[in-house]
Amino acid sequence: MNPLALSLIELGAVVFSLGLLARLAERIGMSPIPLYLLGGLAFGTGGIVELEGMKQSAHLFGEIGVILLLLVLGLEYTASELFTGLRRSWRAGLLDLVLNFLPGAALALFLNCGFVGAMVMGGATYISSSGIAAKVITDLGWLGNRETRVVISILVFEDLTMVIYLPVLTSILAGVSFVSGLTTVGIALAVVSVVLLVALRHGHRVSKAVQSENSEVFLLNVLGAALLVAGVASAMLVSAAVGAFLLGIAISGATSHNAARILAPLRDLFAAIFFVAFGLNTDPASIPPVLGWALALAVVTTASKMATGIWAAKREGIARPGRLRAGAALVARGEFSIVIAGLAVASGAVTQELAAMATAYVLIMAVVGPLAARYVEPLVEIVLSAEGVVTKV
């Protein structure tokens, strides 16, 4: 069979299978991310059937998936909202960073994965999944709860931290010298600062440049701008994902809402392929040896995220049930953790063992997060009953 036909058949089979997996995830009330990763493991190196043709296109599609994930995430915020969120949540954000970065970094160092491995695993355990958290909050009807504002503030702080962390990680993975690394980080921070300033003062001009009443033109404008900015950012070692995120922030008002709506199907498609692509490059046989460590890390970081949410909600005067809900909403890890691990794997700077541990960890946490949020409600009821409270707080 000629290579083009093979690639098309494999791509079609994978996309159709992703639809089935997404339907299954919806029925059982969980995020589809673990199923996408399992699908990649099943059809990648060492899997049930190895899709050689798919591997050639999966990397590019996966990169586009990351760009769209971060672009749509950026569209959810304005520059002023980011600054306001930072002012409101910086104490909780710093506690979150310390409590959740250190476990992953410490384990990587303990397993002799080096400084690079520590940076990768620390980032993977630190960042919550904004996508899973948003879905959980919506599905469980928590949007109007007081603690939801606390959760969103912490997620905003994490996203801002990623804007700094990803360029630093990219420089480390590139193996540049200390002086070159400082220069790269300085350039990255300067670019980020300039873009945020432009977004704050001239966001309406950026929006006007991509806006169109014709949906086809609008889609091409936004997607083309995102790929262009991501490419330029990548060339400057700022990270393509960060470039897309900053563009999303710069687009404001009704344009951002329309862009998020029109990009949603593309984001879902390419993001799903991104998770599959990561799984394709991970040998399933490498997971069992590190599964115990991944489980231990999941237990520790579930507790640390719960502690973060509980402390932050308590500072806002929210009662114990609301604090539990805030902690549970932050537990899940997902897209960002895999983005970080994917960057490391693509650079060849980390071992297969660490990549397998990151995969196993995200698989566990993407399942545990929604379950923790769903079943914290019965715990809330028990707490209220024990304290003799009739109405929820």
- Round to whole Å and give the CA distance between 144 and 373: 16
Q: Find which of 32-36, 98-102, 131-135 is predicted with most confidence, using mean pLDDT.
A: 98-102
* Tokens representing residue 101 in the block: 């970065």
* Domain total of the chain: 1
In a domain, 194, yes or no: yes
Sole residue written with tokens 């297969």: 352
- Give 85's pLDDT tier (boundaries 50, 70, 90): low
For the cut 50, the answer to whether the pLDDT of residue 169 exceeds it is yes
For 5, left (φ over 0), alpha (ψ -120 to 50), or beta? alpha
Give percent helix, percent strand, percent coil of the chain, each to the nearest 5: 85, 0, 15
* Exposure of 210 in the CB half-sphere (CA atoms within 13 A): 28
Among 83, 76, 93, 89, which Cα is nearest to 197's?
83
pLDDT of the residue at 133? 82
Inter-axis angle of helices 33-42 and 352-386, nearest 10 = 150
In a domain, 90, yes or no: yes
Q: Are 160 and 249 in contact (CB under 8 A)?
A: no
The per-residue pLDDT of the chain, averaged, comes to: 80
pLDDT of the residue at 180? 62
Pairwise pLDDT comparison (99 vs 46), residue with the higher score: 99
Tell whether the torsion through CA atoms of 120, 122, 125 and 126 is positive or negative: negative
pLDDT of the residue at 1? 65
The string of DSSP codes covering 236-297 is TTS-HHHHHHHHHHHS-HHHHHHHHHHHHHHHHHHHHHHHHHHHHTS-GGGSHHHHHHHHHH
Sole residue written with tokens 């498609």: 269
* Tokens representing residue 114 in the block: 């080096």
- Give 368's pLDDT tier (boundaries 50, 70, 90): confident
In a domain, 53, yes or no: yes
For the cut 50, the answer to whether the pLDDT of residue 12 exceeds it is yes
- For residue range 232-273, list pLDDT tens digits in order: 877 776 667 777 878 888 887 788 888 888 988 888 888 788
In a domain, 392, yes or no: no
User: For residue 209, what are the CA distances in angstroms to 64, 167, 204, 251, 252?
Assistant: 22, 27, 9, 9, 11
- Round to whole Å and give the CA distance between 348 and 365: 25
pLDDT of the residue at 391? 46
Domain that holds residue 175: 3-386
- For residue range 320-350, list pLDDT tens digits in order: 888 999 999 999 887 778 778 877 777 776 7
In a domain, 127, yes or no: yes
**Would you tell me how many other CB atoms lie within 10 Å of the CB of residue 143?**
9
**Would you tell me how many other CB atoms lie within 10 Å of the CB of residue 336?**
27
- For residue range 262-309, list pLDDT tens digits in order: 988 888 888 788 778 777 777 778 788 889 999 999 999 999 999 999
Q: pTM score, two decimals?
A: 0.73
- Give 107's pLDDT tier (boundaries 50, 70, 90): very high
Distance of CA 207 to the CA centre of its chain: 25
- For residue range 23-80, list pLDDT tens digits in order: 888 888 777 878 887 887 777 666 676 666 666 677 777 788 878 887 887 787 776 7
In a domain, 185, yes or no: yes
* Tokens representing residue 283 in the block: 């040998």
Pairwise pLDDT comparison (193 vs 223), residue with the higher score: 223
pLDDT of the residue at 47? 63
In a domain, 391, yes or no: no
**Would you tell me how many other CB atoms lie within 10 Å of the CB of residue 302?**
21
Among 365, 351, 336, which Cα is nearest to 275's?
336
For the cut 80, the answer to whether the pLDDT of residue 144 exceeds it is no
pLDDT of the residue at 182? 66
Q: Are 25 and 263 in contact (CB under 8 A)?
A: no
The alpha-carbon radius of gyration of the chain (Å, integer) is 21
In a domain, 393, yes or no: no
Exposed e or buried b per residue across 187-204, where buried means at least 16 C-beta atoms within 10 angstroms of its C-beta: ebeebbeebbebbbeebe
Pairwise pLDDT comparison (30 vs 374), residue with the higher score: 374
CATH of the domain at 173: 1.20.1530.20
